[in-house]
A = this chain, B = another copy of it.
Amino acid sequence: MSTLTANPDFEQRRRDVAAALCAVLPPHCVLSRLEDTRPYECDGLSAYRQPPMVVALPEDESQVAAVLEVCRTLNVPVVPRGAGTGLSGGAMPIAQGVVLSTAKLNRIVRVDPYARTAVVQPGVRNLAISEAAAPHGLYYAPDPSSQIACTIGGNVAENSGGVHCLKYGLTVHNVLRARVVTIEGDVIELGGEALDAPGLDLLAVFIGSEGMLGIVTEVTVKLVPKPAVARVIMASFADVVTGANAVARVIAAGIIPAGLEMMDQTSSRMVEPFVHAGYDLDAAAILLCEADGTLDEVEDEIARMAAVLRDAGASAIAVSTSEEERLRFWSGRKNAFPAAGRISPDYYCMDGTIPRKNLAQVLAGIAQMEVKYGLRCANVFHAGDGNLHPLILFDANQPDELARAEAFGADILALCVAVGGTITGEHGVGIEKIDSMCVQFKPAELAAFFAVKRAFDPLALLNPDKAIPTLHRCAEFGRMRVTNGVLPHANLPRF
C-alpha cells in the first residue's frame, strides 16, 4: 500500500479533487474511498499495483469533457482506463492522479450494414461489436485474446491485434473515425468514413497512443463480411525450428492465411488440460493455419497450405471438419494466458516482434535463456507476423524469481531488437517497456514523439510517464546499461 494514503496533505487533495468531480458528475460516478479505488490498482500487468487517488466514471461525452476540465484546472494527472485487460501497465494508476474509466460509455450507437460500419462508444466490448453486427453477416475483425472483456477504447489506445491480424490488420487498419475530447476540452473528429481523409492523419497517431493524447468518446469501426467458411489446419512438428521454417515456407508460397499461429510443447501441454483443444501433446511445436472465404477458396487454400506444411516436415496434419472443431482448435491458443495462470503462480508475458526469417534463431535463444535463468518459458506467437508472446513462468513468492523473470524478459526483448525487431508487437509500451524504448529509438525520434505529445497535451497531464521515456530517463538508463552489460528491466516502484 502506498505510504501516501496516510499523508494528511494527500487526503485533503483527494477530498478536493473528489469534490470538484462530484460537482460535474453524478455522485455514483466518483470513487474516492480506498476500498472503491482498490479494484483499479492495476491492469493485466498485475505485478505493479497502485490505487489511484480518485476514479471518475463519466456517463457521456460532456461529462468526459467536464472531468478533463477539472483535472486541467487542478493540475491532476489523468490515467484513462478501458477494461483494464492491458498487459503493459498502460492503465496503471498514478498515486496522485485520477483514473478516468470509460466503462459507462458502453452504447452501440448504430450498425450500418450498407456502409459496413459500426459506431460505438469506447466502453463497448470488442466481441459485442461483432455480436451486434452478426445479424447482417458482418463482424469486427481484430480479435485480441481478451476480446470477451476488452473494450474498443482500450483497443484504440493499444492498437490491439489478434490471431487474425496477419490477414485483417490491427486496430489502426479497422477504425475509420474517432471522436476525441482533448485535455483542452475540445471535441475533435479524427479520420472519416472515406478511405482517405484530408489533412494530417491524426487518427493513426491517436491509435496506439496509450491514452497520452486525449480521451476517445466514439469510434467508427469497419465491419467485414463474415466469411462463408473458415477452416484451420493443426500441424505437428517434431522440433521447433522445423515448425518455424514451415511458417516461412507458407508465407513464401504467396499464401496469406487468416491466422498463422504457433505454440511450443510447453504451451500445448499447459493449455490442453484446461480447454481440451485436442492438441498433439507429443509435438514439439503446433502450427494453426486458418483459411477463410468461400467454400472453393477455403478448400483450395487448405490444400495448398497442407502441401507446403507436409513438404516442410510436418509430422501430422489435422483439418477442422466443423465450426465447433475450428473454435476448439483456437480455444487453446486463445486461453494460453489464463492457462499459464493456472499452472504457475505468476507469469510474465512478453510481446517482441522479429523478422519472420529469425524465428528459429530467436526460439533457440529463448531455450538457452530458460537454462540460464532456471525458469520455464511457454512460447505462443503470431508466427505469421513474427510477433512473439513468450510466457515466462515464475513464482513471485520464491526469493529472486521475479528479478530473474524480469531479466529473462529483458534479454528476450534485447534479442528481438538485435535481430532487427521491436520491443512490442501489440501490447503497448505502458510502464513495462518504457526503458526498452531507449534501446529502440534515437534521441531525435523520442524528441519527435514528445513534440507531438505536447501538441495535444501541453501540460503533460494525460497518462504521464507512460509509453515514451524522457531523454533524461534514457540517459540514466544508458548508464545503467553500461554498468550491467545487459538490458535491465523497468525500474519501477511496486506496491
A190 CB contacts on chain B under 8 angstroms: 445
A166 CB contacts on chain B under 8 angstroms: 195
Give complex CA distance A115, B252 in Å.
9
Whether the pair B449, A452 counts as a contact (CB closer than 8 A) is: no
| Contact of A159 with B196 at beta-carbon distance under 8 Å, contacts A173-B173, A252-B114 already known | yes
Give complex CA distance A186, B448 in Å.
10
Whether the pair B194, A386 counts as a contact (CB closer than 8 A) is: yes
A485 CB contacts on chain B under 8 angstroms: none
Whether the pair A207, B198 counts as a contact (CB closer than 8 A) is: no
Whether the pair A199, B449 counts as a contact (CB closer than 8 A) is: yes
| Contact of A115 with B189 at beta-carbon distance under 8 Å, contacts A200-B453, A201-B204 already known | no
Chain B CB within 8 A of A455 CB: yes
Chain B CB within 8 A of A205 CB: yes
Chain B CB within 8 A of A476 CB: no
Chain B CB within 8 A of A407 CB: no
Q: Interface 1/0s, chain A 142-168, versus B by CB < 8 A?
A: 000000000000000001010001100
A209 CB contacts on chain B under 8 angstroms: 200-201
Whether the pair B357, A200 counts as a contact (CB closer than 8 A) is: no
A397 to chain B, nearest CB (A): 32
A165 CB contacts on chain B under 8 angstroms: 195
Whether the pair B199, A468 counts as a contact (CB closer than 8 A) is: yes
Chain B CB within 8 A of A300 CB: yes
Whether the pair A192, B422 counts as a contact (CB closer than 8 A) is: yes
Whether the pair A440, B198 counts as a contact (CB closer than 8 A) is: yes
A223 to chain B, nearest CB (A): 11
Whether the pair A196, B426 counts as a contact (CB closer than 8 A) is: yes
Whether the pair A170, B193 counts as a contact (CB closer than 8 A) is: no
Chain B CB within 8 A of A373 CB: no
A338 CB contacts on chain B under 8 angstroms: none
Chain B CB within 8 A of A467 CB: yes
Give complex CA distance A448, B192 in Å.
16
Give complex CA distance A204, B196 in Å.
12
A14 CB contacts on chain B under 8 angstroms: none
8 closest A-B pairs by beta carbon, nearest first, are: A204-B204, A451-B455, A186-B444, A225-B254, A194-B353, A195-B385, A201-B204, A455-B455
What is A's interface to B at a CB cutoff of 8 Å? 114-116, 137, 159, 161, 165-166, 169-170, 172-173, 182, 184, 186-190, 192-202, 204-205, 207-209, 225, 248, 251-252, 254, 294, 296-297, 300, 353-357, 385-387, 420-426, 428-429, 433, 437, 440-442, 444-449, 451-456, 467-468
